[in-house]
Chain A
Amino acid sequence: MSFESIADPTYLRSIGRVSLTVSLTAVLLSTLLSLPIAFAVGFAEFRGKRLITAVINTGMGFPSVVVGLLVLMALSSSGPLGSLELVYTPEAMILSQCVLAAPVITGVALSAVESVDDAVRDAAYGVGGTRADVALITLKEARYGVITGILAGFGRAISEVGSVLIVGGNIAYADGTSKTRTITTAITLETRRGEFETALVLGAVLLALVLLVNGVVMRLGGR
């Protein structure tokens, strides 16, 4: 039954769609959350700034299976958020990927903002710019770093397997449409079945999708 499952285009389309939808949504939400934090922390001078930066950087390496476990416990029917009935749904996967991607985006964007040369800010103030103007100039200067952060967050989200397996359950229906099966969890399933060739093909598909998304984002980012 080697190529049976992936020879069916419905199946591939379906797991590809779930992978991309979940990860892109998670990255979008994380970006909306992360950029304001990165700019706020990057611009402000306050006590505890180094501590916050350290917390963000630690979050970048947070183990995904731990995130999966915590999200599962929170969402489980007998857990505190059980009434939302989110366990084993794509929404649960989006939530756990957000938790994983947000620190990456925040961390990289923060260092991009901080590495903008002070001279740029001083010059902006010097020509009579308001705080908003200065922020805008800094944002413009830091944009490549911010885009890199978003792409790094996307990379972490889409290649993720530990937490989505735990909170999503790797569920596909009998007709081959995916509920919570992503390309990565399909790879773990095929490996478990000993179908290494199928797993390899899925790996190639995943790689190509990541390349495609990166290309599109780079293009939009003007690089």
Chain B
Amino acid sequence: MEYRRREVLGASAAGIAAAVAGCVGSGSEGDEVGVAGEELALATTTSTYDTGLLDEINAAFQERFGTRVAPNAQGTGAAIESARNGNADVILVHARSQEDEFMRDGYGVNRRDLMFNDFVIVGPSDDPAGVGDTEQATAAFEAIANAQAPFVSRGDDSGTHTKELAIWDAAGVEPGGEWYQELGQGMGNTLNNASESESYTLADRGTYLSMQDNVDLEILLQGPIEGGPELLANPYGIMAVNPEIHSNVNYQLAMAYIGFATSPAGQDVISNYTADGQQLFYPEALSEDPNFQQYVPEGWQSEADSE
């Protein structure tokens, strides 16, 4: 890694000055708050946060409603658990099975499809397992398992981890052995690790693109955005925490946020957000062909349907 010494030193000096000034300063600037002092607690995934997308949506929301958003970026599993405990007003995650369970248990209300991107299988450019020759995610995972090529798993109950396990399951492979390592870390750390250890991993396209310059990994199997298998689709959902269960949650504000994120203005923010000139997320809330199924947990049938 090449360190730009002059820049680093300059930034350090400026940083120390700024940090000291911040502490001895008045301490009041930046403390102004929005509507009636309210603030929206958003539990979300590292992929939406680390790519920088959320800051864009939140800034636009704040501009419109004058309310600040406090985003807490964890894995999907941790975000949902946080919401179950009443520590969030709204959640934005990407694991439909976990979202459905959350809704079915009555913790969430008003789930909406928000946006999508896809997963990609990345690995070292010499591709020892031959993943680049496969066309299906299951075949790619089988190839990795057969070659016992090193694979790092998020192992953190996140949306990406949930998808990874679903692919192993679909491939009929029970991953294990020394070649398969669970990290228990976020996407960024996992990509760093895969790059250092020349391993394969499953990554969401957004985080991979935003880190592309810092890691030595290549996309070996594309997701559906680039014509790859549908199994690698990565849809994001947004839902409010049920105020009937946790009376402390700010339901009005949560609904305002969901309304904004799924509005033309919010969807524009999503489609206009790029890293290195590449679009990271695709809006899904607006459609000429409304998908009413988005409100209904998967696998759930009404009596009318079954007749």
Contact = CB atoms under 8 A, between A and B. Distances in A.
Interface of A: 1, 3, 6-7, 9-10, 12-17, 19-21, 76-79, 82, 85, 87-88, 169-171, 173-175, 177, 179, 183, 189, 191-197, 200-202, 204-205, 208-209, 212
B18 A9 contact: yes
B188 A77 contact: no
B41 to A, nearest CB: 7
A189 B14 CA distance: 20
B68 to A, nearest CB: 5
A78 B25 contact: no
Interface of A is mostly: helix
Given A6-B11, A12-B22, A76 B188 contact: no
Contact of A183 (B19, B54, B185, B191): B19
Interface size class of B (residues with CB under 8 A): 35 or more
27 contacts: A1-B210, A3-B7, A3-B11, A12-B22, A13-B19, A17-B23, A17-B25, A17-B27, A19-B19, A78-B86, A82-B86, A88-B70, A88-B87, A170-B73, A171-B70, A171-B71, A174-B54, A174-B62, A183-B19, A191-B188, A191-B192, A192-B187, A192-B188, A193-B210, A194-B188, A196-B1, A201-B15
Contact of A170 (B7, B69, B72): B72
Nearest to A5: B52
Contact of A202 (B15, B68, B69, B246): B15
B162 interface: no
B23 A16 contact: yes
Interface of B: 1, 3-4, 7-8, 11-12, 14-16, 18-23, 25, 27, 30, 41, 46, 50, 52, 54-59, 62, 68-73, 85-87, 185-189, 191-192, 210-211, 214-215, 246, 248, 275
Given A16-B23, A17-B27, A192-B188, A85 B248 contact: yes
Contacts of B69: 173-174
B72 A169 contact: yes
Contacts of A12: 14-15, 18-19, 22
B78 to A, nearest CB: 10
Contacts of A15: 19
A196 to B, nearest CB: 6
Contacts of B1: 196
B66 to A, nearest CB: 12
